[in-house]
Amino acid sequence: MTLLRIEDLRLSFGGLLAIDGLCFSVGQAEIVSVIGPNGAGKTSAFNCVTGFYRPAGGQITLRGKSLSGLRPSAIAGLGIARTFQNLRLFGELSVLDNVRAGAHLWLRQSIFDALLHTPRYGRSERECTQAAHHWLDFVGLRGDRYGAARNLPYGEQRRAEIARALARRPDLLLLDEPAAGLNHGEKAEMLDLIRRIQALGIAIVLIEHDMGLVMEVSERVVVLNFGREIADGRPEDIRRDPAVIEAYLGSDTHA
Ligand SMILES: Nc1ncnc2c1ncn2[C@@H]1O[C@H](COP(=O)(O)OP(=O)(O)OP(=O)(O)O)[C@@H](O)[C@H]1O
Ligand SMILES: [Mg+2]
């Protein structure tokens, strides 16, 4: 079953066509990578899917329902969560509270519950804390979860951000360069984490420059260059595609 479908997506900034006719789809629990040189339009595509940018044309549907015109919060509510290329944790908040903020999205409590501290409020706050601990365990966070998020080492912050996204209980997780800045061992752990997320039945779209990780984990790879899609296929075919090799190496050298 198709979960996410992107058809003929176009996005412009002034005169610049940042995305020009992007088409791809993601099935349930599938891992699709989006790769391409810097400025190719990868993050912009995520921003269109999540409602941060308004496309100039095309269609984005989730389970057949158009996301067009929906606000980011509404789209998140439909089951799409993301992480950011430049980490966006609340640095002063504790790691745990950052993840609790993700879990709050699906809590049913009204402002009155919160103001009056009703039993329902207490119960849902406890549930939220439990969920946050669960996801921090799941991502394998080793650092102090009660301390400020900004004090965590970089690789741990990336993990905490994924925990926050998972706490939203998404069906689709968009990861923007999760392995950027990680060392060799941390990259191996990230690969394992991505697979364990998939095993939960969650589909993943992965933007990543680390080709080893991309080729290892993806079922399909979409390649963008200057906003245009130049390939969509299985990793083993993408690796040998002359247009892809040219986009990366700037020559027609065949690997
Ligand atoms: N808010 C914006 N305003 C103007 N131009 C933008 C904006 N966001 C992105 N762009 C431009 O759109 C193009 C695509 O940018 P995008 O960030 O999507 O690339 P990317 O593929 O994610 O690159 P990288 O690998 O460096 O993260 C670039 O030319 C960029 O300068
Ligand atoms: Mg980017």
pLDDT of residue 53: 97
Q: Say which amino acid occupies 137.
A: D
Indicate which atom in ligand 1 lies nearest the CA of residue 46.
Answer: 18
Handedness of CA 116, 119, 121, 125 (dihedral sign): positive
The bound ligand whose nearest atom lies closest to the alpha carbon of 38 is 1
Residues with CB under 5 A from ligand 2 (ion): 42-43, 85
Instruction: Quote the ligand 1 centre to 53 CA distance (angstroms).
Output: 11
Domain ranges in the chain?
1-79+170-255, 90-169
Predicted structure pTM score: 0.92
In the prediction, which pLDDT does 247 show? 85
Task: Please give the pLDDT value at position 177.
Answer: 97
What does the pLDDT read at residue 250?
65
Number of the ligand 1 atom closest to the C-alpha atom of 45: 18
* pLDDT for the residue 170: 96
In short, whether 86's Cβ falls inside 6 Å of ligand 1 is no
What's the gap in Å between 73 CA and the centre of ligand 1? 22
- With the most atoms of ligand 1 within 8 angstroms of its CB, the residue from 10, 44, 53, 206 to mutate is 44
- Residue 42 alpha carbon, nearest atom of ligand 1: 21
Alpha-carbon span 74 to 51, nearest angstrom: 9
Does residue 47's CB lie within 6 angstroms of at least one atom of ligand 1?
no
Q: What is the pLDDT of residue 105?
A: 67
**pLDDT computed for residue 255 by the predictor:** 40
Alpha carbon distance 60, 66 (integer Å): 6
Does residue 73 have its Cβ closer than 6 Å to ligand 1?
A: no
Q: Which CATH architecture has domain 1-79+170-255?
A: 3-Layer(aba) Sandwich (3.40)
CB contact set of 247 (below 8 Å; sequence gap of 6+): 36, 37, 223, 225, 230
pLDDT of residue 254: 42
Q: Looking at the CA of 47, which ligand is closest?
A: 1
Residue whose Cα lies nearest atom 27 of ligand 1: it is 38
pLDDT at 117: 75
**How confident is the model at residue 252, as a pLDDT?**
46
Ligand 1 atom closest to Cα of residue 47: 18
Nearest-CA residue for atom 2 of ligand 1: 13
| pLDDT string in tens for the chain (255-residue length) | 899 999 999 999 998 999 999 999 999 999 999 999 999 999 999 999 999 999 999 999 999 999 999 999 999 999 999 999 988 899 999 999 999 998 876 666 666 766 777 777 778 888 899 999 999 999 999 999 999 999 999 999 999 999 999 999 999 999 999 999 999 999 999 999 999 999 999 999 999 999 999 999 999 999 999 999 999 999 999 999 999 998 876 644 444
